[in-house]
Structures are given as structure tokens and as C-alpha cells.
Structure 1
Amino acid sequence: MSGGWNTIESDAGVFTHLLEGLGAKGVQFEELVSLDADSLHSLSPIYGVIFLFKWVSSKATDNKPEDGTFDTEAAENIFFAQQVIQNACGTQALLSVLLNIPDVDIGAPLREFKDFTIAFPPDLRGETLSNSDLIRSVHNSFARASPFIDETQRTSTDSDDVYHFIAYTSVNGILYELDGLAPAPISHGACLPTELPDKVVPVLQRRINRYPEGEIHFNLLAMIRDPRIRAKEIGDVETLHIEERKRREWVWENSLRRHNFVGFVGDLTKGVVKAKQAEGDDSYKSWIEGGKKKSEQRMKVLRAASMKEA
């Protein structure tokens, strides 16, 4: 395999443009700000959800997960790939939903990939996925540029916060948890596609409840039908306008993500310092001293507020 896989943000705009970059049509992602079935139902039809969480050591074994049951035979009938490299879990979770929804146009490249890997075991599917130039290049096109971190050389330590993406979707009447780090798909019982909001929320709540109280590092994205399709069908001009504006904002935000502004900020800072120095030593020193005084004042306010809270 040539090249590494960079980390990507859990963001609806990022994941929607990942879908489009891979060739899928008529689908997008929405971020959920509350975990309740009504919120999910309001987005129907919903194809699946992608859950981001802080990874912690699990009590699961190769024979039994912490919740649900392993369905070792399911991988023969659904798309499930084991994660074999670091940082690919976001795109892998996306594909775990997308490639298991028969009524979505996934595009020719992904259709060929799915047909090619259909008879592979999960580990070989993961290897094939990680070696796909198309999937890796689209994934990396939405990674935040950084001059400091080479993700191909990155290793985690005990003090690092490691985050992981997994997918939940209804396939063949079963609610499956598709985690590339698990040995097999995890079944959470019977679930028709229309029942997904009602069935997946309790599963997610049980998972969140396994974390210490106060843990807030979770994010949930729902893969849904592109709302613009329905808006055009019923002539809902207002919704169509809102969704088109959202898409334009996503394009702008993603263009910013592709650029590293560290050099720009550094040059700007140098320019400001040079201008201040040109005004004279006294001007430059007074500028520095003014900044120090403002910082000290902010710290005093913060200390006073913390003492009141205590």
C-alpha cells in the first residue's frame, strides 16, 4: 500500500462530500444534537448512523461483545470489513452503511468494489479497502492539513485520547453494529429499516452509559436521503433554499479544511511585529506591556470566577 490514511473530522459536511467523492448519489449526512427517536424519525428515510466515541478498553471477548451477539455468518450476506490500518475507521463506517443499502445509487466504482470483494472474508475485505487508491484518496482529500503530524508514523500512548467510528444499520431485518475492530457484525435483534430510530437509540444509550458520568466526547451522524430530492418532488421552495445554502456552506468549510494556515498566521505575526518595531522601541515595548496587562486582568477574572464556583 502506498501512502497513509489521515484523520478526518466527524462532520456532516465532510461525510456528505465523502459520499459524493466516492460516487454515491441522493444521500447525505446530518449531525444529531440530541439522542432521541423523534429526532431520527424527523430525518426519515434514515439509512444508518455513524457513532464517534472515545475508545476505552472493552470487556468484550472474541466470543461475546459487551452488548448484543456476534453474528459470524452475517458477513457472508452483508458488507462487513475488518479495520486493518489506523485512521480509516471513519470512511470504513460510512461504507458499512452505504454498501448495505440496496436502494441507494452507490455509483460504478463502489459497485465494482463491492462485487469484487463480495466473496472475501472480512479481513481480506479490509485489506482490499485499505489498498483502494480511490477510497484512500477521497478520504485523505478531506483531512485537515498539518505541518507537524505525519499520520503514517503516529502511534498512540496511554495518555492519548483515541477516537473510533462505528456504524449501525438495518440489514435483512436485523439491527447490526458494524465495527471494523470487532471479529464479526454484532446483532442487536430484529429491526426493519423504518424501525431503526426506535431500535438504535436504546443501544446507543446503553453504550454511552458504560462511560463515566460527565463524559461528553460523543458525536452522531445520520445517513439520510438527500432532502433536496423530496423538496423538489413536493415543490417545497423554502426547504430547497435552506438545503442548497447548507451545501454551499459545506463546500466553503471543506475548502478551508484542505489548507494549512500556520504559515499564513506566522507571516502575519511577523508583519505585525515588524510594523510595531518600525514605529519605534517605545511603541513596541508598550504594545508588549499592554498585552501582558490584559492577560493578567483576564487571569484575575477567571480566578475570581473559579473561587466563586468552588
Structure 2
Amino acid sequence: MSGGWNTIESDAGVFTYLLQNLGAKDVQFEELISLDPEMLRQQSPVYGVIFLFKYPTGEQASSTPKDGTFDHDASENIFFAAQTIQNACGTQALLSVLLNKEGDVDIGPHLREFKEFTTAFPSELRGEALSNSELIRTVHNSFARSSPFIDETQRAATADDDVYHFIAYTPLNGVLYELDGLNPAPISHGPCTESEFPDRVIPVLQRRIERYPAHEIRFNLLAMMRDLRIKAREIGDQEWLAREEEKRKEWQYENALRKHNFVGFVGEVLKMVARQKLQEGNGAYEKWVEEAKGATKKRVEDRRKKGIASDELD
């Protein structure tokens, strides 16, 4: 393999344009802010959901899942890949839904070729093929935040790190499946049609969340659905269409910012300011420092008068 995989954010804009750059058409993601079947149903057609949670690194592996049952025969009929590399689980969860919805979704020529190539593979080889796909890795890494300090493609997680993991839920062949590449097989959560999916998946998610302490709130849920702009055009809702187009522009802007490293820019600004003060003479520089100290002191005093402790400063 020619390169590693960086961490990407659980963000609707990131995942939507990741889909688009992989070649999929007329599909997007939306973040769900509550576990409400009706909210999910309103987005119909929904192809599946991707759930992000803090991975319990201290748990021992088990031959049986805590919820549902392993369906070892399902891998022969659906796309399921073992996770064989760090940091790829977000894109892997996305593909676990997308590649199983070919027919409902135009997955594009590159992913169609990849799926056909790996159809006869066992899950371990599918995972290796995914991890070694230059196209998928390049598109994935293009959405990682730029960092001048850490090369995540070469860094392994340590015991002190908070480790997060993505998994997918989708209805396939009349069954609700949980697709997690760290498990040996897809997990069946019982019968489920496309129309029943919102009512079936929400209780499964609630049971998973209930296994965590009450103070744990670091979860995220993204739904994969048909492009909402299509529905807006179909019903002739121009205001809705305009909002969706504006949202796409915001996503593009945010994704562009993720690709840029601003540390160099900030450093140049600081050097420019320092150079200017030095050119004005040492006295001007010292005066500038003292003015800054005085402003900080005044701010602390003002907050103390209002009853705000100094350690609560931004």
C-alpha cells in the first residue's frame, strides 16, 4: 500500500461530498439531532444510517454480539468488509450502505467496478482490497483536516486516546443489518422492510446508547438519503430548494477550509507584527507588551467585579 488513512469528521457535508467524489449520484447525508423515527421517516427514502460512538477499548472480544445475532451466511449476499486498517472506518461504514444499495442509488463506475471485483471475496479480502484502493483512500484523505504536527497515517492509537468508531445500519433483503468491520460477520436485528426501517433502527440505537454511562453524550448519527434537492424540485418548493443549494455552498466552503493549514499564515502574521514593533524601536515594543498586560489585567478585574472567576476566562 502506497499510503495511509487519515481521520475524517462525522459531518454531513464531508460524507456527502465524499460520496460525490467517489462517483455516486443523487444521494446525500443529513445529521439527525434526535432519535425520532418520525424525523427519519420524513427524509424518505433513507438508505441507511451511520453511527459514531466512543469505542470501548477495554472490552474483551465475544463470540456473540450484545444485541442481535451474527449472520455468517449474509456476506455471500451483501457487501460486508472486515476493517483491516486504522482510520478507515468512516468511509468503510459509508460504503457498507452505499454498495448494498446499488439499484436504488447510482454508485458510479469506479465503485461499481470495485464491487464487482470483490464480489466473490471473503470479508477479510474485501477489507484488504478496500484498504488498498488508491482511489478510495485518496478521496477519503482529501477530507481530513490539515495538521502540521501529526501524521495520522503513521500514528497508532494509544491507551490514552479516545477512540471513536463508525458503523452502519441498513435494511437488506428484508432484514435490519448492523455492518461493523470489526465484527466477524453482519449482525441481524430481525425482520425489517424499507418502510419499517425508521421504527426498527431507532430502538437498536437506543439500546446501544443505554450501555454507556448517563454522562456520555459523544454520539453522532448521519442518515444516507436521496438528494433532498430532487424532492424539492418534484414538489415545486423553490424556498426549500434555495435552502438546500445554500447548504451545499456552505458545505463546500467548510470542506475547503479543512484542506488548509493556517499555522504558517498565523506565524507570518506574528512575525510581521513583531517586525513592525521592532522597527519602531525597543521602547515601542516594550510599550506594546505593557499595554497588552494592562488590558488583560483590566479584563480580569472587570470580570471579578461581576462575580466571574479569573480561571473562567476564555
> What displacement does 1:235 show?
1.6
3-state SS in 1 of match to 2:48: strand
Give 1:55's aligned amino acid. Y
What residue is the counterpart of 2:289 in the other structure?
285
- Name the counterpart of 1:7: 7
Structure 1 segments unaligned to the other structure (5+ residues): none
1:188 CA drift (Å): 0.6
Query: Superposed, which structure 2 residues align to 1:91-102 within 5 Å?
Result: 91-101=91-101, 102=103
Q: What is the aligned partner in structure 1 of residue 261 from structure 2?
A: 260
Residue 45 of structure 1 is matched in structure 2 by 45
- Mapping of 1:155-170 within 5 angstroms? 155-170=156-171
1:113 aligns with 2:114: yes
Is the deviation greater in 284-293 or in 166-175? Answer: 284-293
Distance, in Å, in 1 between the alignment partners of 2:303 and 2:259 is 35
- Secondary structure in 1 aligned to 2:51? strand
Residue identity opposite 2:154 in structure 1: Q
Question: Aligned equivalents of 1:216 and 1:200: distance in 2?
Answer: 19
Q: Aligned partners of 1:39, 1:298: CA distance in 2, in Å?
A: 46
Tell me whether 96-105 or 60-69 shows the greater mean CA deviation: 60-69
Q: How does 1:128-277 map to 2 (within 5 A)?
A: 128-277=129-278
- Tell me, yes or no, if the aligned pair for 2:84 and 2:124 is still in contact at 8 Å: yes
Say which SS state the counterpart of residue 85 (structure 1) adopts: coil
- Distance across 1 between alignment mates of 2:302 and 2:55: 35
| 2:309 alignment counterpart | 303
Deviation larger for 9-18 or 49-58 = 49-58
- Whichever residue aligns with residue 191 of structure 2, its letter is A
Q: d(CA) in 2 for partners of 1:160 and 1:299? A: 35
Q: Deviations over 1:182-202 (max 9, x none)?
A: 111011111111111111111
- Decide whether aligned partners of structure 1 residues 305 and 148 sit closer, same or farther in structure 2, where only a CA change above 3 A counts: closer
Corresponding position of 1:68: 68
Secondary structure at the counterpart of residue 309 of structure 2:
helix
CA distance in 1, matches of 2:235, 2:217: 39
What's the % identity of the aligned pairs? 65
Structure 1 counterpart of 2:285, one-letter code: D
Q: Tell me, in whole angstroms, the C-alpha distance in 2 between the residues paired with 1:281 and 1:16.
A: 49
* RMSD, aligned α-carbons: 1.9
Query: Comparing 262-271 with 121-130, which one deviates more in the overlay?
Result: 262-271
Deviation at 1:295, TM superposition (A): 6.4
Q: Check 1:188–1:59 CA distance in 2 against 1; reply closer, same or farther (3 A cut).
A: farther
CA distance in 1, matches of 2:105, 2:58: 34
The size of the alignment, in residue pairs, is: 306
Question: What TM-score results when the alignment is normalised by the length of structure 2?
Answer: 0.92
Compared CA separation, residues 162 and 302, structure 1 to 2 (3 A): farther
- Separation of aligned partners in 2, 1:287 and 1:122: 64
Partner of 1:80: 80
Segment drifting more, 276-285 vs 172-181: 276-285
Give me the whole-angstrom Cα distance separating, in 1, the residues matched to 2:56 and 2:80.
22
Contact in 1 for aligned 2:96/2:179 (Cα 8 Å): yes
Residues 138 and 304 of structure 1: CA distance in aligned 2, closer, same or farther (over 3 Å): closer
Distance 1:225 1:252, change over 3 A: same
Deviates more, 1:265-274 or 1:77-86: 265-274
In structure 2, what is the Cα distance between the partners aligned to 1:16 and 1:274?
44
Mapped partners of 2:206, 2:58: distance in 1: 16
Q: Deviations over 1:125-166 (max 9, x none)?
A: 000001111101110111111111111221222211011100
* TM-score relative to the length of structure 1: 0.93
* Structure 1 residue 103 displacement after superposition: 1.1
Q: Is the 8 A contact 2:300 2:310 kept in 1?
A: no
Bigger mean CA offset, 237-246 vs 149-158:
149-158
Letter in 2 for 1:72: H
